[in-house]
Structure 1
Amino acid sequence: MNKTLARRLTIYIITLAGLIIAAAISLQAAFAATEITTTRGDQAEIALSLYQHDLALVKDTRHITLQHGLNRLVWQEISARIKPQTAWLSHSERPELLQTVAQHFNLNLLTPQQLLESHTGKPVTVIRLNPATGDEHKETATVLTTNGGIILKFSDRIETGMPGRLAFSEIPDGLRDKPAMTAVLDSQITRHNKPQPLQLTYLSHGLSWQADYILELDQQDRQASLTGMATLTNQSGIDFHHARIQLIAGDINQVQPASRPVAKQFSRELESMSAAAADIDNTAHFELHRYPLPVKTTLRDNQSQQVAFMSARAIPIEKQFILTGQNHYYSGHYRHAEQKQAVDTFIKFRNNGGELGVPLPAGIIRAYKRDQHNDLHFVGEDTLSHTPGNVMVRLQLGQAFDITAEKKQIDFKKIPSPDPNTRQFETAHRITLSNAKKEAVTVIVREPVPGDWRMLSESHPHQKITANTAEWRIELPAERDTVLAFRVLTAL
């Protein structure tokens, strides 16, 4: 190594060491400084952006008085489920006046067990009560361990178990009654006595929302009303008072997402707003949609709250009965004489016109219908994916009770092929559709036919709706049976 390079390396090491020592001295001075504590009482605004995947963006703005230079600030009442690496503190109006030097988080909340464990090796006061006289006797002991139970060392003996009440002289610095963040701040603010608007922004688990829909069908199954309810859930460890809340709909990518925690028991306090009065405007943002709630809301810990975010009436709907086959019928001999098949019931409508046409967040749609006595009954549910405007919504609600089907393969032939790599089959099928209703219905029969295929004969005309799907629309008279028969050649 030449002398010039060695000299430069020495200067670099000395400079780096000086910077580390200076930073350590600054941090030591900051942590030795008087602690400034901010609570919810300093809060000017709290804003929550709730996502549908156990995630929320929290923006907590408070008015705080800082000293010029280094400050040690304890920001109390943060979410216990905070993602610490996402937190940053800034001046709301003049960011250049404030710089964060260091920050750490106190998320171990004060509990009797935590308090006891923190006094391991330290003295505590043991208070015993004389049941006969009611007098209290106090004695000092040292906590030796709390593993598997408590062991106390008195001046003349060692005891196990809890001999009486324990009194503690102090709460250690690492324990707080509420989740908190401690930050070392370098402030360039010159007005010492004027509170400054500081904002703590962070991502947190334990806060989320989900969409649930109520679809009420009319007597003729021709129209329906739709109400969207947002269920807001708080399991973050703290309350959020008078929060400005917006719901974020859409899928976001998260690197190494934390697994969803097992839900603990929490009080199901439901507060509902009128759907007619609570339609919420939505705004596209990046590739997401935002639904700001119209009023500030208090969301308490372990609470679930509901608000309506959309409603629409007189939606034209179409009920469909669909029988879907399986493709293995066309490449092999089916040995069973007949097979009973279920006919699925679907409801579909287009998300446009009237009070619709708004983006519908993913959720569950539950359908209801009133009978002739005006009693409401649950008739099925299905999941809804994120649905933009002018898109068809198709819901599978269950299976038809009064419409049944029996399918039978009545012929199967292997047909010689000039190509040794191709197999050919000729199959004939008969589907008997039965309608026990007192009115006529239409059943859509969809058969997934594999490979290259050609319809050789059929009792009803089909449509080729995809490369591998043949569809028939069969009119079923009231209380009658109808037979669909067809023969098809397939090449695989």
Structure 2
Amino acid sequence: MRLTALLILAVVAAPAGAQQVVTSAGPERVGVTVYRDPDRGRRRPALNWLNGYALISETRSIDIPAGESELRFEGVASGIIPQSAIVGGVPEGLLERNRDALLLSAGSLVGRALGNRVTLRRTDRATGTVVEGEAIVRSGGDGGVVLQTAAGVEALRCTGLAETLVYDRVPAGLSARPTLSVRVRARQALRASVTLSYLATGFDWQADYVATLSRDERKLQLRAWLTLASTDDTSFPGATTQAVAGQVNREGVEVAPVESPPLRLQCWPAATTSTVSQPDGSSYANGDTPPAPPAPPPPPPPVVAFRSEEIVVTGSRITAVRERLGDLQLYRIPEPVTVGANAQKQVGLLDRPAVKVEAVYRMAVVSADEEAEEQGELLLRSRNREEQGLGLPLPSGNLVLFREGAGRPLLIGEGHMRDTAVGEKVEIKVAETSGVRVRLSSGEGDRRTLVVTNDRPVAVQAEVELLHDDGDRIDGAKLMRRDGKLLWLATVPANGSATISYRIRRS
């Protein structure tokens, strides 16, 4: 049976006396544990550039023959780090391991067939007549596929007939899917349950928070999703899936990409000495009308980091279960899910219906300035304790904040949640607002006046930081220090203002 450039029809078995090859098409059970990109900061993971990684653990049943043999694990992650692979269940251990980085494609078939004989099949479009003959592949690079036949040297698909190459076998070293191969030795034939564990690049995860602030701004309904993302070419259906939060000490490793070269075809022009070459490589004869310039290409589509159709939302019925892993936090999805190739998936992470918060408008002015005006920045503060409605580790992630309104919640801002341990202070920066402002004005001598205005229909808590030189002393106002900052705390009435005056004493 023959193999065309696009379809494998048969694989020839290894000749007698050669090393035996055993292929495992896929795992029976698989587990995927995803670790975050430690350097991402507040950026969302972009699907086309994921810098996290995953620990893949597979279980496969394999018939191992007696003597030395090659075990081929097909369907591993294309981003596998070969040196991290651990194979268990092989009675006498491994002799060597290799990652097959060249995938089966039209280009790789031609590349591996250089200098070898193949079958050239041609079909007359008018009559349907099929003619086959032998050809030798002489070139298969960017210049196109060059063949030598009994009629001479020619380029593939330049005769005007429909033609293709037919191969009688798969060239050695080509795999239809990402493959890890290992060489083993066994004293006797046996069926073994082999475990394969390895690290793979091209994975990441993100916590995405959605919060709704009550009308009195004292409680927060906090929900979070665990978003898994993969740029790998391999899907892992029915995987036991976990995500790990925290800093893991790991050195970066360069991984060569899996190669799958395309087939480039190029015909030779029927050129003469009177042919005029064009910058784009085309030509026309002198005396002829030059061809019209080609139409400009259409504009490229806009780049979208996250497309909604790429996200699979599993549903709120599945919520990740948190477990402690030393100094790390592990979030285990309680049901098997599919970690799809080049896709994302969301499952529930946490749900806290009533988190007690304090809404504070923060501002800062330089105390020695004569005139200044700043708008407030809305913060939501709480403490990560059970009595506040929390009391669990919070992984970092972006937060979208809504506020209860008439009939439906309304978006009021976006913030960020940092990694927060139990007992730590929670502070979420929401947005700047022009409705709460502070104005600094100067009086006689070193006297200054601060006025905070509030145009909202409810009273607000304001926090004004006075920036000053270390040698300055501020008298005449009731201030406090917190975290090394000099602060004025004030309750500003609805549609009202609050005022203080102070004097600067310079040393």
TM-score bin (small chain): 0.7 to 0.9
- In the alignment, the residues of structure 1 paired with residue 501 and residue 156 of structure 2 have an alpha-carbon distance, to the nearest angstrom, of 83
1:125 is aligned, of 116, 119, 130, to 119
Return closer, same or farther for 1:391/1:485 CA change in 2, 3 Å cut-off.
same
CA drift at 1:409: 5.2
Q: Following the alignment from structure 2 to structure 1, what is the Cα–Cα distance between the partners of residues 174 and 59?
A: 24
Mapped to 1, the partners of 2:115 and 2:443 lie a distance apart of 86
Shift of the alpha carbon at 1:439? 2.7
Distance 1:315 1:383, change over 3 A: same
Q: Against the structure 1 CA distance between its residues 112 and 436, is the aligned structure 2 distance closer, same or farther, given a 3 Å change threshold? A: same
Q: What CA distance in whole angstroms lies between the structure 2 residues aligned with 1:280 and 1:353? A: 19
Q: Could you give the per-residue CA deviations for residues 203-242 of structure 1, whole angstroms, max 9, x where no partner exists? A: 0012221111111112221112111101111222111021
The answer to whether the aligner puts 1:154 opposite 2:149 as a matched pair is: yes
The Cα shift of 1:140 comes to 2.4
Q: Does 1:33 align with 2:19?
A: yes
Counterpart contact for 2:318–2:334, Cα < 8 Å: yes
* Cross-structure match for 1:272: 313
State whether residues 278 and 310 of structure 1, in contact with CA within 8 Å, keep that contact through their aligned partners in structure 2: no
Distance (Å, rounded) in 2 between the aligned partners of 1:30 and 1:71: 13
CA drift of 1:178 comes to: 0.4
2:321 matches 1:281: yes
Counterpart-to-counterpart distance in 1, 2:418 and 2:461? 27
Gaps of 5+ in 2: 1-14, 38-51, 258-302
How far is the alpha carbon of 1:64 from its aligned partner? Answer: 1.2
Paired position in structure 2 for 1:64: 62
Match of 1:479 among 495, 498, 501: 495
Paired position in structure 1 for 2:454: 435
1:140 corresponds to: 134
Amino acid at match of 1:357: G
Change in 2 beyond 3 A, CA 1:351/1:293: same
Distance apart, 1:490 and its partner CA: 4.7
2:120–2:134 contact (8 Å) kept in structure 1: yes
Q: Residue 285 of structure 1 aligns to which amino acid in structure 2? A: L
User: What SS does the aligned partner of 1:271 have?
Assistant: strand
Q: Secondary structure at the match of 2:321?
A: coil
Query: In the alignment, is the contact (CA less than 8 A) between 1:30 and 1:72 conserved in 2?
Result: no
Secondary structure class of the residue paired with 1:366:
strand
Equivalent of residue 206 in structure 1, options 178, 190, 202: 202
Whose RCO is larger (CA < 8 A, sep 6+)?
2
Deviation at 1:388, TM superposition (A): 1.6
- Are the counterparts in 2 of residues 210 and 231 from structure 1 also a CA contact under 8 Å? yes
Which residue in 1 is equivalent to 2:440?
407
Other structure's SS at 1:206 match: strand
| Uncovered stretches (5+) of structure 1, i.e. residues with no partner | 1-28, 413-426
Aligned residue identity for 2:229: T
Q: Report the TM-score when normalising by structure 1.
A: 0.80
Cross-structure match for 1:462: 479
Within a 5 Å distance, the mapping from 1:167-186 to structure 2 comes to 167-186=166-185
CA offsets 1:166-219 (integer angstroms, 9 cap, x no match) = 22222212211001111111235x5x34x2111111000122211111111122
Match for residue 375 of structure 2?
A: 342
Q: TM-score of the superposition, structure 2-length normalised?
A: 0.78
Distance 1:406 1:264, change over 3 A: closer
Summarize the Cα distance change of 1:484–1:234 in structure 2 as closer, same or farther, 3 Å threshold: same
Q: Deviations over 1:282-335 (max 9, x none)?
A: 222122111111001112211211000211111111111111235xx64xxx5x
> Share of identical aligned residues, percent?
21
| Separation in 2, partners of 1:281, 1:196 | 33
When structure 1 is superposed on structure 2, of 232-241 and 479-488 the one drifting more is 479-488
Secondary structure class of the residue paired with 1:98: coil
Measured on the aligned residues, the alpha-carbon RMSD in Å equals 2.7
Pair 1:204–1:151, CA change in 2 (3 A) = same
Which aligned pairs between 1:235-274 and structure 2 lie closer than 5 A?
235-256=231-252, 268-274=309-315
The aligned counterpart of 1:102 is 96
| Residue of structure 2 equivalent to 1:295 | 335
- Going from structure 1 to structure 2, the CA distance change for 1:266 and 1:63 (only over 3 Å counts) comes to farther
Contact 1:267 1:303 (C-alpha < 8 Å) held by counterparts: no
Please tell me the residue identity of whatever aligns with 2:30.
I
1:67-78 correspondence to structure 2 within 5 Å: 67-78=65-76
CA distance in 2, matches of 1:283, 1:226: 20
Cα distance, 1:462 vs. partner? 0.7
Cα displacement (A) at 1:267:
8.2
SS in 2 for 1:380: strand
Secondary structure of the corresponding residue to residue 121 of structure 1: coil
Equivalent position amino acid for 2:35 in 1: Y
In 1: Cα distance, 2:225 partner to 2:497 partner: 43
Within 1, Cα distance between the matches of 2:85 and 2:19? 23
In structure 2, relative to structure 1, the CA distance for the partners of 1:284 and 1:362 (3 Å cut) is: same
Specify whether residues 117 and 429 from structure 1 end up closer, same or farther in structure 2 by C-alpha distance, changes over 3 A only.
farther
Q: Mean Cα displacement is larger for which, 29-38 or 222-231?
A: 29-38
- CA offset digits 1:106-154 (Å, max 9, x no partner): 1222111222222222223222221221112223222222232222222
**More helix by proportion, 1 or 2?**
1
Question: Counterpart of 2:420 in 1: which secondary structure?
Answer: coil
- The 5-angstrom pairing of residues 312-323 of structure 1 reads 312-323=352-363
The structure-2 alpha-carbon separation of the partners of 1:30 and 1:251, relative to structure 1 and needing over 3 Å to count, comes to: farther
Residues 409 and 127 (structure 1), Cα distance of their counterparts in 2 relative to 1, 3 Å cut: farther
